[in-house]
Amino acid sequence: MSDFEAMWRDLSPLGRSSATGGYFRTPWTAAERECVDWFHDQADARGMATEQDWVGNAIAWWRPDSVPSTGEGVLTGSHLDSVLDGGAFDGPLGVVSAFAAIDILRERGVPATKPIGVGLFVEEEGSRFGLACLGSRLSTGATTWEQAARLRDRDGVWFLDALEAAGVGPGKASLELQANVGCFVELHVEQGRDLVDRGAPVGVASAIWPHGRYRFDFTGEANHAGTTRMEDRRDPMLTYAMTALAANKQARTAGQRATFGRVDVHPNGTNAVPSAVTAWLDARADSTQHLQAMLAEVERLAQDRARRDGTELAITTESVAGEVTFDPDLLRRIATGSTGGRRAWPVIPTMAGHDAGVLSSAGIPTAMLFVRNPTGVSHSPAEYAELVDCLAGVEALADTLGRLAT
């Protein structure tokens, strides 16, 4: 059994639901902390020195003797948290592959002249506190701790209380990524079918689409479902329903993406017109301008509908990430590298968000490798990658890290 398979076998049961087969590795809960413990065990087993910050972001460093201990590190890794009922590969594939790639480099005696780190970023999905890539945003300064301290999860738990309850710490104020990391390469399962269509097990990312998350608060009037005449209602569910349809139509006609995947209804009773509906829009587009234009049009249609329904709508932006173009020089070195006479890997854009985007925006030269996903399904228990493709990804990562660190 390869190192990759052994690690995958150990990690796979953690946080898996027996009901759905999907994963609930929600940040700073027991299941996700088990994954984090697994990470530290892997680092310890390899004699890698681990540093951790105050929220639990961590880097396990492999520093061959004679390699200076600071600066210009080559960082890889990913995240171990999941969306609610997520897949096994989104995040963990990058972490497991990182350790496996370092094992290969050590076995082959690759003469690294720079330290190589395996990074673990917390709350990448934003599934608990709503802010995508919260860990990497905190570690690069894109989000301040004062901003994070104002976040609450859906049960009303404050961010700092969640950290304390999870027993995170002690840790450094910051991993000082901009000072210690010369470049970052994140390997990730592909979340589409581009590589299937191209017949390639591995690809390289060119760019990440801009991405926004917006909270829509619709308010109306609670009333009796039987006695209230249809024309007398102020039903926020109707305004929400029309808004969801409008967002879908806007995105489809413009070739962009819009999703309402989370809704809270109050009081959520079968026989009452609701008083309030809160829904979250996840919107992505090929440029910031198109993202803003789509949101403006959805808002216009939603407010127009609210006037007709006698309801009210307030929209709050919870997070916006701009377009990311990965480092062209790094991309060229990775995609056209000449090791082993292999053919070049295809270069593809992605509509998914990643810590790699945050590090890139912080000025760290960054690239991503994708591993083929046969169905393209992701953020679902059905997410999958064949073992042979995962191992090709490990080889590609080892090849890349070896070239960047020597």
- Tell the smallest beta-carbon distance from residue 163 to ligand GLV (Å): 22
**Cβ-based nearer residue to Mn ion, 330 or 358:** 358
Of the CA atoms within 13 Å of residue 379, those in its CB half-sphere come to 11
**Cβ-based nearer residue to ligand GLV, 110 or 356:** 356
Which 3 state secondary structure label does DSSP give 277?
Answer: strand
Of 88-96, 169-177, 238-246, 288-296, the segment contacting Mn ion by CB under 5 A is: 88-96
- Taking the CB of residue 232, how many other CB atoms lie within 10 A of it? 11
Does residue 132 bind ligand GLV (CB under 6 A)? yes
Q: Which of 139, 211, 149 is nearest to 172 (CA)?
A: 139
Which residue in the set 3, 90, 123, 282 belongs to the binding site for Mn ion (CB under 5 A)?
90
CA distances from 152 to 134, 324, 367 (A): 13, 28, 32
Non-local CB neighbours of 341 within 8 Å, separated by 6+ positions: none
Which residue in the set 91, 119, 220, 365 belongs to the binding site for Mn ion (CB under 5 A)?
91
| x/- letters, 323..352, toward ligand GLV (CB under 6 A) | -----------------------------x
Which 3 state secondary structure label does DSSP give 364?
Answer: coil
Q: Which does 91 bind (CB under 5 to 8 A by kind): ligand GLV, Mn ion, none?
A: Mn ion
- Tell the smallest beta-carbon distance from residue 32 to ligand GLV (Å): 15
Cis amide linkage into residue 115, ω under 30° from 0: no
Of the CA atoms within 13 Å of residue 296, those in its CB half-sphere come to 6
Which 3 state secondary structure label does DSSP give 406?
Answer: coil
Does residue 306 bind ligand GLV (CB under 6 A)? no
- Tell the smallest beta-carbon distance from residue 227 to ligand GLV (Å): 43
- The sign one gets for the Cα dihedral 333, 338, 342, 343 is positive
> What is the chain's alpha carbon radius of gyration, rounded to the nearest angstrom?
22
- Tell the smallest beta-carbon distance from residue 1 to Mn ion (Å): 25
**Cβ-based nearer residue to ligand GLV, 352 or 358:** 352
**Cβ-based nearer residue to ligand GLV, 3 or 355:** 355
Does residue 357 bind ligand GLV (CB under 6 A)? no
Does residue 353 bind ligand GLV (CB under 6 A)? yes
**Cβ-based nearer residue to ligand GLV, 352 or 371:** 352
Please count the residues of this chain forming the interface with ligand GLV, following the rule CB under 6 A: 4
**Cβ-based nearer residue to Mn ion, 219 or 361:** 361
Convert 374-406 to b/e letters by CB count within 10 Å (16 or more is b): eebebbebebbbeeebbbbbbbbbbbbbbebbe
Of the CA atoms within 13 Å of residue 327, those in its CB half-sphere come to 22
**Cβ-based nearer residue to ligand GLV, 78 or 400:** 78
Q: Which does 353 bind (CB under 5 to 8 A by kind): Mn ion, ligand GLV, none?
A: ligand GLV
- Sequence-ordered alpha helix ranges (H) in 229-287: 236-254
Please report how the helices 30-45 and 3-11 are oriented relative to each other, as an axis angle in degrees rounded to 10. Answer: 150
- Tell the smallest beta-carbon distance from residue 276 to ligand GLV (Å): 26
Give strand pairing partners of 364. none
Non-local CB neighbours of 404 within 8 Å, separated by 6+ positions: 74, 114, 183, 185, 330, 333
**Cβ-based nearer residue to Mn ion, 90 or 190:** 90
- Tell the smallest beta-carbon distance from residue 215 to ligand GLV (Å): 16
Structure tokens at 3: 């190192």
Does residue 125 bind ligand GLV (CB under 6 A)? yes
- Tell the smallest beta-carbon distance from residue 234 to ligand GLV (Å): 34
- Taking the CB of residue 307, how many other CB atoms lie within 10 A of it? 11
Q: Which does 397 bind (CB under 5 to 8 A by kind): Mn ion, ligand GLV, none?
A: none
| x/- letters, 241..280, toward ligand GLV (CB under 6 A) | ----------------------------------------
Q: Which does 132 bind (CB under 5 to 8 A by kind): ligand GLV, Mn ion, none?
A: ligand GLV
Does residue 81 bind Mn ion (CB under 5 A)? no
Give the footprint of Mn ion on this chain (CB under 5 A). Answer: 90-91
Give the footprint of ligand GLV on this chain (CB under 6 A). Answer: 125, 132, 352-353
